[in-house]
Amino acid sequence: MFALLLLILAAGYLTWSLVCLELNYRRARAIGIPLFRLPIDPLNILFQIFESHVWEVLDRLPVKGVLPQWTTYARRGWFFEDKADTFLRLGKVWAIVTPVGIYIQLADPEAIGDVLSRRMDFPRPTEPYKILEVFGPCISTAEAENWARHRKVLAAPFNKSIMSFVWSESLQQAQDLIEAWTKDKVHSFSKDTRTLSLNVLAAEGFNKPFNFRHWKGNEKHSDAKLSYRDALQIILDNALLLLVLRPKLLSSRFLPQSWQRVGKAAAAFQGYMRQMLDEEMQSLNQGAKGSGSLMTSLVRAGDAYSTGRSGVNDRTKGLSVDEIFGNIFVINFAGHDTTANTLAFAILLLAAHPEVQTWLTQEARYVCKDTKPETWQYNELFPRLVRCQAVMQMCKCIAAFMRRTTIRITTQTRFASSHRDGLRSVQQVLEKHWSLHERAHILHGLTDPKSVQG
Ligand code: HEM
């Protein structure tokens, strides 16, 4: 009986998904660009959990040649594999249609620039980021009308004085890393770049330096009170678990010890944030300077504490207490993996290209002369290290693939007027960047529509 019920529910869900897919496909056809139907949305939670396991099995079977074409776009990070293939085949604009939305893919710098500059016409979807609200609402989940308020406060900490702090902390951590690598062997360079990135973030967040710990294999866990840095490390290393199960559930004593540890780390991290908040509040009320940490900037950039209540959605200035906590988490979350991976990419690429190492060394010798790292000043040296900046920019692109823009128009979860507006905005971009003649070529999948003379 139970199995039958389950089967009926599954069949109902499948039918509903196919109906939505067809409805979305019809809407997408109005845009007049090449389309692919993808029967499951890439943001579907179940899909995200099982997708890699399904591929693990499929990749071992001799089915590659018989899989339908849409399966190419059903892999997480398909664009790493696809590179420009689909664009070369179909032109600079095409779309994937799912039961939930229409994902328009653009590979034209001018059109992408146009989309990115029209923030109100092409708002970033916030629902997929809701999962990040572990400690409170944050910039990534703020709707268009609240985004500017978050952005204004979050821009405050990224000033010159913090950059100088980050610079000297990074120099210290990098020296410790080099010392560890020269004294001992390199066990895992990517683990060590994670430590470097974490220590700099933690030092910036807590306003206190943390010793570099060279990774030598499985670390033993101690039951001692977690430091701010260790709590942050556990949270970021187990972010997926935390995002899905949330801190409260993870603290349950019925869960495995390792999961409870993540719950404890989340509670400790929240405790540190609250303590910093109270201290900052106190110094603000006493007219004192504050510790100079991330919390100081977030508190002082707005009127959070004089009026701060969470859940107030008519505010025009400052952040509520929950929003400050939410943003501190998201800054760490957004800054950690990205920086660690960029450093890891850079080290690998430099190892593979010794000529670029020599090119960088020439610059470093010329700019830093024979002086000691302790004397290196951010304001003086950083702007002159242009070769270093160029290499890091390139590695950043590799880590983030920022040259691609996906516009997602959600057609199922929003009101009709909103998807009509979304489709109209896309039409406007197409009309502006491609003539009618070129668009006919795009639709018929001709290579490089921009090269076609109309
Ligand atoms: C190489 C390093 C980095 C790369 C490649 C990178 C890349 C990105 C990208 C592509 C986004 C946009 C995400 C989206 O729109 O969905 C983003 C957003 C963000 N990044 Fe970074 N990032 C890096 C370092 C950092 C650092 C060090 C911090 C903070 C300390 C940080 C904080 C943020 C925040 C708070 C957002 C959200 C902004 C918003 O939602 O409007 N990032 N980053």
Q: Where are the domains of the chain?
A: 2-137+404-451, 154-352
pLDDT digits (tens, 9 = 90+) for 97-126: 999 888 888 888 888 888 888 877 887 778
**The pLDDT value given to residue 452:** 35
Binding site membership of 394 for ligand 1 (Cβ less than 6 Å): no
Q: Is 139 in the pocket of ligand 1 (CB under 6 A)?
A: yes
What pLDDT is recorded for position 404? Answer: 43
The ligand 1 atom nearest the CA atom of 129: 16
Q: Could you tell me which residue, 286 or 416, shows the higher pLDDT?
A: 286
Average of per-residue pLDDT across 214-232: 82
Taking a C-beta distance cutoff of 8 angstroms, is the pair 38, 73 a contact?
yes
- DSSP, res 405: E
Look up residue 357 and give its amino acid: Q
Ligand 1 centroid–CA 437 distance in Å is 38
H or E element in which residue 105 lies = strand 101-106
Question: Ligand 1 pocket check: which of 338, 347, 349, 393 to mutate, most ligand atoms within 8 Å of Cβ?
Answer: 338
Q: Is the pLDDT of residue 288 over 70?
A: yes
Binding site membership of 238 for ligand 1 (Cβ less than 6 Å): no
Q: Look at residue 413 in the predicted model and tell me its pLDDT.
A: 37
Rg of the Cα atoms in the chain:
25
* Chain segment 290-347, per-residue pLDDT in tens: 888 889 888 887 665 444 444 445 556 788 899 999 999 999 999 998 999 999 989 9
**Please, are residues 93 and 428 in contact by the beta-carbon 8 Å criterion?**
no
Under the banding of pLDDT at 50, 70 and 90, the label for residue 406 is low
Atom of ligand 1 lying closest to residue 140 CA:
40
405 lines ligand 1 (CB under 6 A): no
Q: Ligand 1: distance of its center to the CA of 335 in Å?
A: 6
User: Tens digit of pLDDT for each residue in 124-177?
Assistant: 778 778 889 999 999 999 987 788 889 988 988 888 888 999 999 999 999 999
Does ligand 1 come within 6 angstroms of the Cβ of 240? Answer: no
Residue nearest to atom 37 of ligand 1 (CA): 140
CA 43 to CA 356: how far, in whole Å?
A: 39
Angle between helices 321-352 and 257-285 (to 10 degrees): 120
CA of 334 to the centre of ligand 1 (A): 5
Decide whether any atom of ligand 1 lies within 6 Å of the 140 Cβ.
yes
Structure confidence at residue 454 as a pLDDT band (50, 70, 90): very low
For residue 417, what pLDDT is reported?
41
Distance of CA 138 to the CA centre of its chain: 13
Mean pLDDT of the chain: 84
Indicate the pLDDT class of residue 399, thresholds 50, 70 and 90: very low
Q: What is residue 69's predicted lDDT score, i.e. its pLDDT?
A: 87
Atom of ligand 1 nearest to the CA of 201: 30
Least confident stretch, 24-28, 71-75, 308-312: 308-312
Contacts for 21 with CB less than 8 Å, ≥ 6 apart: 37, 39, 97, 98, 99
**341 or 426: which leads in pLDDT:** 341
Looking at ligand 1, which residue's alpha carbon is closest to its atom 27?
A: 335
What token pair was written down for 178?
A: 């080099």
| Helix, strand counts (H, E) of the chain | 19, 4
> Phi-psi category of 37—alpha, beta or left, where left has phi over 0 and alpha has psi -120 to 50?
beta
The enclosing H or E element of 80 equals helix 78-82
Instruction: Say yes or no: CB of residue 246 within 6 Å of ligand 1.
Output: no
| Cα-based angle 242, 268, 255 (whole degrees, multiple of 5) | 45
Distance (angstroms) between ligand 1 centre and the Cα of 337 equals 10
Does residue 191 line the site of ligand 1, with CB under 6 A? Answer: no
Does residue 125 have its Cβ closer than 6 Å to ligand 1? no
pLDDT of residue 414: 38
For residue 328 and ligand 1, the question of a CB distance below 6 A is answered with: no
Lowest-confidence pick of 11-15, 399-403, 417-421:
399-403
CB of 338 shorter than 6 A to ligand 1: yes
Position 405 pLDDT exceeds 70: no
b/e code 167-189 from CB counts within 10 Å (16+ = b):
bbbbebbbebbeebeeeeeeeeb
Which residue is closest in CA terms to ligand 1's atom 36?
334
Q: What is the Cα–Cα distance from 454 to 451, expressed in whole angstroms?
A: 9
Minimal CA–CA distance to 134: which of 293, 295, 263? 263
Q: Which two tokens stand for residue 269?
A: 């991290």
Does residue 240 have a pLDDT over 90? no
Does residue 193 line the site of ligand 1, with CB under 6 A?
A: no
Higher pLDDT: 194 or 240? It is 194
Task: Please identify, by atom number, the ligand 1 atom nearest to the C-alpha of residue 150.
Answer: 41
Q: Is the CB of 335 under 6 A from ligand 1?
A: yes
pLDDT at position 64: 81
167-212 pLDDT, tens digit per residue, is 999 999 999 999 999 998 888 888 999 999 999 999 998 888 899 9
Ligand 1 atom 42, closest CA? 335
Share of the chain above pLDDT 90, in %: 41
Q: Confirm or reject: Cβ of 396 under 6 Å from ligand 1.
A: yes
Nearest-atom number in ligand 1 for the CA of 147 is 41
Higher pLDDT residue, 364 or 158? Answer: 364
pLDDT at 48: 84
